[in-house]
A and B are shown apart, each in its own frame.
Chain A
Amino acid sequence: MSANARAEEPVSSPAGAAGTGSGAPRAGEAAAGSGPVYWRSLDELAGKPEFRQWVEREFPAGASEWEDGVSRRHFLRLMSASMLLAGAGFAGNGCRRPVERLEPFGQMPEDYTHGMPLYYATAMPEHGSAVPLVVKSNDGRPTKIEGNKLHPDGNGGTDRFAQASILNLYDPDRAARFTRGGNPCAPEAAFEFLAELGRKAGQNGGQGLCFLLEPGNSPSRARLVQAMSRNWPQARWYVHDPVDLDIHRRAATLAFGRPVEPRWQFHKADVVVSLDCDFLGSETDVHNHIRRFSERRRLESGQDTPMRLYIAESLMSVTGFNAEHRLRLPASAVVALAAALAAQVRNSGASNLEPLAKAAGLEAGWLARWIEACARDLAAHRGRSLVVAGYRQPLEAHLLAYAMNAALGNLGQTVLFLPAAERREEGLPELAQALAAGQVQTLVVLGGNPAYSAPADLDWARTQRRAGTVVRLGHYEDETFPLCDWHLPAAHYLESWGDARTSDGTLVPIQPLLAPLFGGLTELEVLARLAGAKTTEPYGIARETFAGLCGAQPFEAAWRKFLHDGFLAGSAAQSVAVSLDEAAVAAAVGRVEQPGQLSKERLEVVFQRDYRLDDGRYNNNGWLQEMPDPVTKIVWDNVVLVSRKTALELGVKDSDVVEVKLGERTARGPVWVQPGMADYSLGLTLGYGRRRSGRVGSNVGFDVYPLRTTGGPNLAVGAVVRAVGQSYAVSCTQTHWSLEGRPIVREADLEDYRRRPDFVKEADAAEEELPVAAPLYPNPFDALKAQGLHQWGMSIDLNRCVGCSACVLACQSENNVPIVGKEQVGRGREMHWLRIDRYYKGGPGAKESFRDAFRPEAEQQFERWIDDPQVVTQPMLCQHCEAAPCENVCPVNATTHDQEGLNVMAYNRCVGTRYCSNNCPYKVRRFNFFDYNKRPIGQLYLGPFGHRRADEWDLIKMVKNPDVTVRMRGVMEKCTFCLQRIEQAKIAQKVKAGASDQVLVPTDSFTTACAQACPAEAIVFGNLNDPNSAVSRRKKLDRDYSVLKGLMTKPRTTYLARVRNPNPAMPDQPPGPVSARESGPERGGSG
């Protein structure tokens, strides 16, 4: 069953369905006539005397097992119990305890067929926003996360974090106990403490009570907080997010004189200028930006004009990958560039470019031409252009960007403004002051890990101890845990009831798919218990909030539709008209200083939200740890990113450990030369070097928070670097970054493409001059293809792909791809079925030397041509060749072809000769060198003596997709085009067809996991026999080509060539994409 089936078949709201035990009324109390009462946690349920008695009487042998955390048996029992409770509650016969409860699914719950997955709409809260989701549940356990396609502001695509967050649910290292002073205590004691705290606050108006929250836009939370601050006027509220993405709201509020937040409409923009804004990578709401951006990069024919992107940034970012014109500039100089550009755009007089040019190491005249051409391009697209500033930049840069947008008539066109709530909460520095002043008797920390992520100058570990009592709701027993008097385990969002708003303001439900595995609480429940609210169950709280928001509709129907659809239709915020506050802008312009000169004694440090671990919150997530960083392709580590020139001047090379000294603070990490980095700029990513994390994340990478202060949380100037004289092994999945002139990724400029629409065919000729007439390995099923109803194929649009890597994780989650650990990746043994290849091409004027290709990878950093690279990304997965080289060489027929064009892999038959991988020109086959599923990554070399701990083992099994075989060691595996989804679609259609012969799967009724997750819609999968399918239409485009066509493997996966739309007036404009020049006639064939 695919996610799309939801549209036709209503999925029941959770109270009547699988896995949502916390929504179920408790049988005994329902009988008492006190209305629906819901049990919150399994412990509470288990703790009731009657329940215990029943357990003991009915199943004495298993009663003892109740205590031992999470086991499959335990889980199944909870599952069945909760389901039947749900059923019993609805039947209204709660007065009698149903004795059949121990037989799982003895009474089949509504809408449940054993073995058939169910799909629930929910949402994942993320940095004060939310991602609308549809989650697949197999027999009560969530197994796969997908975006909610029905959501008015979404296409079903998600980001990396949403895809990987399911693994956090099954993380055995999550906080699983209530503790007081570090010692386990009964939940009731904690609840009693919270109630007492609330009573006390009621008496003294909340004097001395402080709350530290994470940013969140849950209406329920807002309602509770509002009520509490009304009742307890003395209580104080603080918000902490290590990555301050709220600056966009603050800047917009300042610029327009009213509380608004911006919404960028990339899909309406012809020209975008990004001022150090990584909106495709590390900003918030990335998946929506990618969707809009890629929508505007659509190119069906020469008539279309894709959007043009300019960027000025110091670190190479995912957004930088996709820019037509990328200006390598220290982050501290970006605001000066913004001022210069704004001066041009607003005709407010010329500015002195000398200091900026000097800081950037550029020629002033050249820089002036760059700025002028860019400004002219913006002016030529009034109302169709957009200037955005990144969260790392100071307020001035944001104000200048708004000023430019206002001058260009973009307000209300390419950037909308939604009314934002005025934020009354203060930040962490204010809380630190209050703590230092001894004003905090009780500190309630809800989420976050301030002991790890607070600015170093606050010395949080000591500061927090100033509070009388610290109560914390935390996901992990992490760095903050030892500093807390009370510690309550937090529930994962897939275990929680709640609500949130997506970035467009639409209300979305957070709906649990299973009862809390570790008895965690939600933020709402803690607040409600503190407040002494009548309803402390999050379910009830969310319902009450919804009742106030759903308007005049009948509540129950609206609620059920809300849960079913996963959003409240029509609840999106209306954008408001704004006008620029010129005074604020003038003040900002006045504050802009000329950038200082950087040197190797005065380096700039740029702190970046990590593409994988965010601010460190996903540190114990193995999928994210092993996801290659989209830019560096490094796994399981962070590094000190430097430019080639900086590395040469500092006398360091890749993997050398250096000490970064910023004032008196230091951090140590390995150096990594990153093409496209600004000179004298150090790129440091957050989230690593956790001292107290789980078994995955502890001691991975190095911690850069000690360098980060309240004064410079994103950017600091004045660092020095010293080589320590040690070397550190860094695992990188792609050590070679040049295309070597091979037309694997094909590119053209828009003008060139319009002139020669079939330019991709010309590259075919350059690729292989041999008159290859027939495939080396003809497919024995070629003749049978005519009989196949479906012929599956895929098309990947390189113009749309931004390289965000959400597909990599979607594939990992869907196909039970194991993680292998840093050491194994270092040996080239990562298992990802889908990888994103990233290539650099030399910038203008750069010439690759003949010997460059033959150097060992480590020496690439000395290559001059790579300083200002063009970047291309290419998702690479099994190409499902019709004449597959892998099939012919397998001695045991383990990999063969089917009639529908799939290259299929029979794991059971594979003996593991690995010949198929050797003969695969795309190198997409993955071999299980060890029992990656069975053994923990630290014990792979122990063979049969390596054992996963029981808790880990039980949980790791639960995250697996039951429709996909878990592979043992010694077998080869690879992308299957999500064969299980194909078969499910075919079966569903056959069931529907009945006796008729309508067994053709409807056009585009399902898709692969990677295509589903892709917010850019770069990947399209479907039936090639169907001329109306999206994939057939894409393959008819003139940009369609297959990689390594000269080998005559006839891949079913083809690519659409990338077309850049550069501005010919720009001084940095090379004549056509470098890769196209390299593989063109002047070079073709020379290898």
Chain B
Amino acid sequence: MEVQLNPLQAQGPGHGGAVSVAEPPPELERAPLVANNRSFGWISNRVASLSEGAAPRWWWVLFIPSVLALGMLLFLVSYQISTGVGVWGNMRPVMWAWDIVNFVWWIGIGHAGTLISAILFLLRQRWRTAVNRAAEAMTIFAVMCAGIYPALHVGRAWYDWWLFPVPNSNSIWPQFRSPLMWDVFAVSTYFTVSVLFWYMGLIPDVAVLRDRARTRFRQFVYGLLALGWTGSNRHWSNYEKAYLILAGLSTPLVLSVHSVVSLDFSVSQLPGWHTPIFPPYFVAGAIFSGFGMVLTLLLPLRSMFKLQDLITMRHVDMMCKVVLATGSIVGYAYAMEFFIAWYSGSPGERFHFLNRALGPYQWAWLMMISCNVLVPQLFWVKALRRNLVVVFIVSILINIGMWFERFVIIVVSLHRDFIPSSWGYYRPTWVDICTYIGTFGLFFTMFLLFIRFLPMIAISEVKGVTPQADPHHPLGGARPMEVLHHA
């Protein structure tokens, strides 16, 4: 990677004088999280300027099709509600198909954001700062896309509120034993906490935008959003505490939401669904797909917005390692499913897993295995982890593979179950496909608006991980360029 050094900006405030400390040996040095010794001012300027001024041409090129796709989504949703679930390809025995596949897929994608913001925060993984804001936004929008499906896939969407425990004159309560009921709580809690967490983190940065505002309107809107943030010591103190609490709250949610989603399947008695391995396996898969999506989004943004100094190769490398780890967990889970099917001696289970690998949907299973298990193994090689083209392609393959994982679990399990007379073969309709494309419209519309109007990198947090912000650094943060140079 090309590194530009600017000696003038290597001077942090308060570190102007010459210090005579022995320089640590290069092999002990970690690559800095902000490359090229960028100053605080540069960081503020770089990130805030993305949401100021005219939008770049590529933004419009992406935004207009996204809005059109969103319009298509709205049309198809009204078509489905007014006409019936039959416009999709769902059938008996495959009563859940693309609707739930896409729901689980989007929810899975939504996992990376909270994992990065909460778990990595608690684990003091400082590299998270550069990617957490965008990942959190991705989470929120992915959960929005996901949320459409359970709300719409039902036959009578106008009665969705019956799934909420609303007191009513008939004293009919939801069925609290049903995993779908748990889903309602899990997903809505997850969404609420994710939004709160994301917004909390945004406050200091929105205040930056407010302070930099050139128009009354921007000042007013960002001023409202900044909730009167002044950056005072007390504000920072409260902020840090609240952030820590929210991180603590979010951490179990990362594990719970996809565990609960997986219980939709585990609690049933269908071979291929009725599996206690699902909660951890789904969480690992969700993180896997979430990181895949983060990479898919950030790699282009990084180069388009010229954020190479903030999202460094080290970040990419870290994320690739997470992908490799979770992908291997997923591969282990696949193997374990087959082992248990054999070991259990249950004829239904045995048949089901053979049918996965050999049956009419063999192509879907092969897609899943190759994309999710084989392809991530490339990341054992450091050179490939640092090859952005390879990483980008792999990240897309992961997204595809994880979609097929859900397809295999849901559709392939359903299409051949206990009574052979009811076996069938599911095919999607154009409405299924276009609705799915429409959710991308929603996702990208939201995401493009986000990168356009909100700081997509946590300005204040990134400043905190620059070398010059670290008072305990032997060199007091600022260090000679040649030290930095070997990164």
Contacts and interface: CB of A to CB of B under 8 A. Distances in A.
Interface string B157-189: 101101100000000111101111100100000
Nearest to B351: A1087
B366 to A, nearest CB: 14
B438 interface: no
Contact of B421 (A839, A915, A917): A839
A915 B270 contact: no
A910 B360 CA distance: 33
Given A876-B419, A890-B175, A923-B419, A910 B155 contact: yes
B155 A928 contact: yes
Contacts of B389: none
Contact of B93 (A828, A911, A968, A1084): A828
A838 interface: yes
A918 B270 contact: yes
Contacts of B163: 891-892, 911
Nearest to B94: A828
Interface string A881-906: 00001001111110000000000000
Interface stretch (A14-22, A275-283, A704-712, A734-742): A734-742
Interface in A1043-1086: 1043-1044, 1047, 1084-1086
B91 interface: yes
A824 B269 contact: no
Contacts of A922: 418-419
Given A776-B269, A891-B180, A918 B155 contact: no
A856 B155 contact: no
Contacts of A910: 155-156
Contacts of A1047: 269, 418
A601 to B, nearest CB: 35
B359 A854 contact: yes
Given A891-B181, A929-B85, A930-B86, A1086 B423 contact: no
A921 B418 contact: yes
B91 A837 contact: no
A857 interface: yes
Contacts of A829: 86, 91-92
B425 A856 contact: yes
Interface stretch (B234-242, B342-350, B455-463): B342-350
Contacts of A824: 86
A48 interface: no
B355 A915 contact: no
Interface in B313-361: 344-348, 350-351, 354-355, 358-360
Contacts of B93: 828, 917-918, 923
B421 A854 contact: no
A891 B175 contact: yes
B40 to A, nearest CB: 51
A928 B90 CA distance: 11
A828 B420 contact: no
Contacts of B358: 851, 854
A912 interface: yes
A829 B160 CA distance: 23
Interface string A918-960: 1101110111111100000000111110000000000000000
Q: Which residue among A891, A941, A972 has the maximum number of chain B CB atoms within 10 Å of its CB?
A: A891
Interface residues of B, number: 62
Contacts of A914: 85, 90, 95-96, 153-155
Contact of A768 (B85, B157, B347, B360): B347
A853 interface: yes
B154 A970 contact: yes
B233 interface: no
Contacts of A552: none
A889 B417 contact: no
Given A909-B172, A929-B90, A918 B95 contact: yes
A742 B414 contact: no
Contacts of A837: 419, 421
A824 B424 CA distance: 13
A837 B421 CA distance: 6
A739 B155 CA distance: 32
Contact of A889 (B90, B180, B344, B420): B180
A744 interface: yes
B156 A970 contact: yes
A770 interface: yes
A893 B347 contact: no
B60 interface: no
Nearest to A829: B91
B155 A893 contact: no
A597 interface: no
Nearest to A940: B86
A918 B351 contact: no
A582 B351 CA distance: 61
Nearest to A968: B156
A769 B420 contact: no
B86 A929 contact: yes
A892 B162 contact: yes
A659 interface: no
8 contacts: A827-B89, A891-B184, A892-B162, A909-B172, A911-B157, A918-B268, A928-B84, A1087-B351
Interface of B: 79, 82-87, 89-96, 153-157, 159-160, 162-163, 172-175, 177-181, 184, 264, 267-270, 344-348, 350-351, 354-355, 358-360, 414, 416-425
Interface of A: 734-740, 742, 744, 767-770, 776, 824, 827-829, 835, 837-839, 851, 853-857, 874, 876, 885, 888-893, 909-915, 917-919, 921-923, 925-931, 940-944, 968-972, 1043-1044, 1047, 1084-1087
By Cβ-Cβ distance, the 6 closest A-B pairs, closest first, are A912-B155, A970-B155, A943-B83, A929-B86, A828-B91, A923-B422
Given A889-B177, A928-B84, 17 more contacts: A736-B421, A740-B351, A744-B420, A874-B421, A888-B267, A892-B174, A911-B157, A911-B163, A918-B95, A922-B418, A929-B155, A940-B83, A969-B86, A970-B84, A970-B154, A970-B156, A1086-B347
